[in-house]
Structure 1
Amino acid sequence: MGMSLNGKVAAVTGAASGIGLAITKDLLAEGVTVVMVDRDAESLAGLAAQLGRAAIPQVTDLLDPQSCKDMVPEILEKTGKIDILLCNAGSYIGGDLVDTTPEAIDQMVNLNVNAVIKNVRAVAPHMTQRKEGDIIVTCSIAGHTAIHVEPVYSASKWAITSFVQTMRRQLMQHGIRVAQVSPGPVISALLSDWEPERLQQMKDAGALMETQEVSDAMIFMLTRPRNVTIRDMIVLPSNFDI
């Protein structure tokens, strides 16, 4: 039987779309107050109005060092506590490395890796003091296998796999569960960089899944009894050949 999440406070990065929006809606349905973190102020305002008072908008640009640094303190000022941190925001680069710009590489690594590390560092003292908390990072199947058409993206997700599993061991003694969910290809804006032919081929083959499948996995992880940690859940479309 799952543990109730009612009354908890969650912060979800990248909450204005995709997996972030899906998990936001599911957490709200579980009775969780959700701080929706995103840089898109207009989308956040509209979604918060639709989703109700338990959805709290938090405009943060994770690529801006000061905005990223201010995120956790600003959330705590609004809510008083953070029970759950879902580091979900990310970006994608595919294709040959030589076709990628240095600027795009910096942006992706800063968002996929550096911002996650900074956010976890910021929330860890608060959760440690309270002796309880959950941190889940959206990783990828690319964090478990070297995908030759995604060298930069795969590198960032391998880094996250290492970071999550080391932090799990650092923080477990303080009652904090640290884990990741590693999806295969999901129909979302993250795949807007894919070649149209590849995207269509994957759709036709049934090798893409919806954001809801990833959200379901996160809810399962969060509702396990406190003596159980699902440290990594790999969620793949059944016809994804890897």
Structure 2
Amino acid sequence: MAETLNGKIAVVTGAASGIGLAATEALLSKGASVVMVDRDEAALKACTERLGAKAIAQVTNLLDPESCKAMVPDILGKVDHIDILYCNAGTYIGGDLDDTDPDTIDRMLNLNINAVMKNVHAVIPHMKQRGTGDIWVTCSVAGHAAIPWEPVYSGSKWAMTCFVQTMRRQLREHGIRVGQVSPGPVVSALLADWPADRLQKAKASGSIIEPTEVSDALIYALTRGRNVTIRDMIILPTAFDI
């Protein structure tokens, strides 16, 4: 039997655009309140004004160690508990490894891996104390296949697949479900460095999906009865060749 999200409190990182915004809107439509985490204060202000009182802004720069560390305590100063943590914020590097630079690699690994681990680490004591919770991570089909045109990104998502599945095993006895959603290419800012001709070809061939199709999968997983854990959902465009 499907569970209701009415009255639940969710935290979504990278919430001001793309998959994070779609997830926020989907959660709100199901009756949840959502703490929208993003570094872009102006974008958060515009989103919360549009979405209403159940959308709560939390300005956090996940790449700043002190800001990242303060995220969960700051949120618990605004809401009395957290039912759902959706670690969605991330960035992308494509192309050959020797075409990028060490600083860009550090930034991507810090956001795609380290920030997620630190956010999960911070929320665990709170969820353990309550004896319930859901932790979800935006992974990627690149976390299941060695994608030759994105070795750094693919490597970061393989790390997330391992992390999510180990944490699922650690936390299940505490009533905390852990899972990931692994989309193929999604229309979002993460694909900004794709060559224009490749992006246009993907759109024309139906090899790319919308953020709402990822948020639909998230809602499905979150609304399963507590006796069910959806550990991973791979969401692919039907025409995607991989």
Query: Could you tell me the TM-score, scaled by structure 1's length?
Result: 0.99
Residue 25 of structure 1 corresponds to 25
1:150 is displaced (CA, Å) by 0.4
Residue 126 of structure 1 corresponds to 126
Aligned residues: 242
Within 5 Å, which residues of 2 pair with 1:220-239? Answer: 220-239=220-239
Residue 213 of structure 1 corresponds to 213
Q: Determine the C-alpha separation between the residues in 2 that align with 1:37 and 1:193.
A: 24
> CA deviation digits over 1:7-32, x for unaligned, max 9?
01000000000000001001011111
* CA-atom RMSD in angstroms: 0.5
Q: Please, which runs of 5 or more residues in structure 2 have no aligned partner?
A: none
Q: Determine the C-alpha separation between the residues in 2 that align with 1:222 and 1:135.
A: 9
What is the DSSP-based 3-state SS (H/G/I as helix, E as strand, rest coil) of the residue aligned with 1:79?
Answer: coil
Q: Determine the C-alpha separation between the residues in 1 that align with 2:201 and 2:48.
A: 36
Q: Determine the C-alpha separation between the residues in 2 that align with 1:195 and 1:115.
A: 28
Deviation above 4 Å: which 4+ runs of structure 1?
none
1:214 is displaced (CA, Å) by 0.1
1:200 is displaced (CA, Å) by 1.1
What is the DSSP-based 3-state SS (H/G/I as helix, E as strand, rest coil) of the residue aligned with 2:3?
Answer: coil
What is the DSSP-based 3-state SS (H/G/I as helix, E as strand, rest coil) of the residue aligned with 1:25?
Answer: helix
Q: Determine the C-alpha separation between the residues in 2 that align with 1:115 and 1:182.
A: 18
Q: Determine the C-alpha separation between the residues in 2 that align with 1:146 and 1:165.
A: 18
- In structure 2, give the amino acid aligned to 1:11: V
Residue 7 of structure 1 corresponds to 7
What is the DSSP-based 3-state SS (H/G/I as helix, E as strand, rest coil) of the residue aligned with 1:56?
Answer: strand
Matched, 1:50 2:35: no
- In structure 2, give the amino acid aligned to 1:62: L
Q: Determine the C-alpha separation between the residues in 2 that align with 1:197 and 1:46.
A: 32
Query: Could you tell me the TM-score, scaled by structure 2's length?
Result: 0.99
Residue 91 of structure 2 corresponds to 91
- In structure 1, give the amino acid aligned to 2:180: Q
Residue 152 of structure 2 corresponds to 152
Q: Determine the C-alpha separation between the residues in 1 that align with 2:28 and 2:196.
A: 34
Q: Determine the C-alpha separation between the residues in 1 that align with 2:193 and 2:90.
A: 13
Q: Determine the C-alpha separation between the residues in 2 that align with 1:208 and 1:108.
A: 22
> CA deviation digits over 1:47-76, x for unaligned, max 9?
101100000000000000000000000001
